[in-house]
Homo-oligomer: A and B are copies of this chain.
C-alpha cells in the first residue's frame, strides 16, 4: 500500500513527498474525454461505475499517489433542492438562484445517505477498486463558495451579486452559511464512513472576499465544516485559493491537518506563515507551468519541493490542471516528484 499521502499528512519523515493533482480526473486525459463523450458531466457524477472509472484513470495513467473521487462541489446545493444545469461552454448554473430570505428557508436539510447516496456509493466502489493501491480522497465545497454559487446562479469573475448580499442582507447570508456548514460537515463525515481516507474542503471563491468579509462570512463556516469533518477521524485538507494572506488564520481556525497553498503564494512565504502550526502544506506549482517543456517542468517541480522542505509537504498544483495540458507533461510533473529523494544533505540544506 502506498501510504505516502497519509504519512505526509501526519508530517512523518518520507523519502519523497506524495503527489496528486487537483482535477486529475479531467479533460486533459483522452481517456476521460472518451467517457465524457458518452454521458454528460452530471450523469457521470451520479453513476458510480462511471465516476469510479475516471477516478482511477490518473492512478493508472499518470501514476499519482492518491485518487480523488470524481464529483462536483455543487452536489450539495442540488441536494438542498436547487435545480442544477450544466451546459457545455457555460459551466454549471442554478437557473433559479437564491435571492431572498424565504429562498433560504425553503432549502431542504441534507441527509447525505439519502440525496447524496450516489457519491457515497462511488466512494465505496472506488475504495474496493483501488484495493489499497493509493489512498482515496473525498471532498466538498466550503460554505462561502457554495453560498456564492447559490446566490449568483453561476460562476462569475467578481461574485458581485453574492457580495452585495453580504453587505445588504447579512442576516440572510449568515442563515444560508449556517445551513451549509452543517450540510458540508455531515457530508464529509458520511464520505469518511463510505471509505474516504482523507477529505478536502474547497473554498474556491475565498479570494472574492476582502479580509474583513472572509473573517465574517468565510472562515467561521469553513472552520465549522472542517472541525465537524475531523470528528470522523480522517485527515482534513483545507484549500482556500486567493486567501494566501490568511493561511495562518485558516490553520488556527480550522484545525486542519493540511493547508492548500495556491500558486500565488511563494512556498517559502507559506512555510513561514504556517511554521507555528502543526499542519502539512499542499501545493503549489502554477498549472500553467505544465505548458513548459518536460525538462523545465522537472526543474521547477524539484525547486518547489526544496522550498517547501522535507516535512509535511504534499506535492500538487496550485489550482486545477488545465484541460489543454499534454498528459506527458502531467506525467513529467509526477515523475519529477518520484525521482526526488530527501537525502540527508538535501534535508540539511533546508534547515
A residues at B contact (CB < 8 Å)? 157-158, 160, 163-164, 166-168, 207, 210-211, 213, 242, 244-245, 263-266, 269, 286, 288-289, 291-292, 296, 318, 322, 324
Contacts and interface: CB of A to CB of B under 8 A. Distances in A.
Contacts of A167: 288-289, 291-292, 296
Contacts of A266: 211, 245
Contacts of A291: 163-164, 167-168
Contact of A265 (B163, B245, B286, B289): B245
A334 to B, nearest CB: 18
Contacts of A211: 264-266
Q: Classify the secondary structure of A's interface with B.
A: helix
Given A244-B245, A245-B244, A168 B210 contact: no
A114 to B, nearest CB: 36
A265 B210 CA distance: 7
B207 A264 contact: yes
A269 B245 CA distance: 9
A130 to B, nearest CB: 32
A265 to B, nearest CB: 7
Contacts of A322: 158, 160
A174 to B, nearest CB: 15
Contacts of A213: 286
28 contacts: A157-B157, A158-B288, A160-B288, A160-B322, A160-B324, A163-B288, A163-B291, A164-B288, A164-B291, A167-B288, A167-B289, A167-B292, A167-B296, A168-B291, A168-B292, A207-B264, A210-B263, A210-B286, A210-B289, A210-B318, A211-B264, A211-B265, A211-B266, A213-B286, A245-B245, A245-B264, A245-B265, A245-B269
A166 B300 CA distance: 14
Contacts of A265: 211, 245
Contacts of A163: 286, 288, 291
A230 B241 CA distance: 36
Given A167-B288, A210-B289, 4 more contacts: A157-B157, A163-B288, A207-B264, A210-B263
A33 B39 CA distance: 46
Contacts of A263: 210
B242 A264 contact: yes
Most buried by B among A242, A265, A266, A269: A266
Nearest to A157: B157
A302 to B, nearest CB: 14
A6 to B, nearest CB: 29
A167 B318 CA distance: 16
A177 to B, nearest CB: 17
Contacts of A318: 210
Contacts of A166: 288
A154 to B, nearest CB: 13
A289 B157 CA distance: 17
A110 B172 CA distance: 53
A322 B296 CA distance: 41
A166 B244 CA distance: 23
Contacts of A168: 291-292
Nearest to A267: B211
A164 B289 CA distance: 8
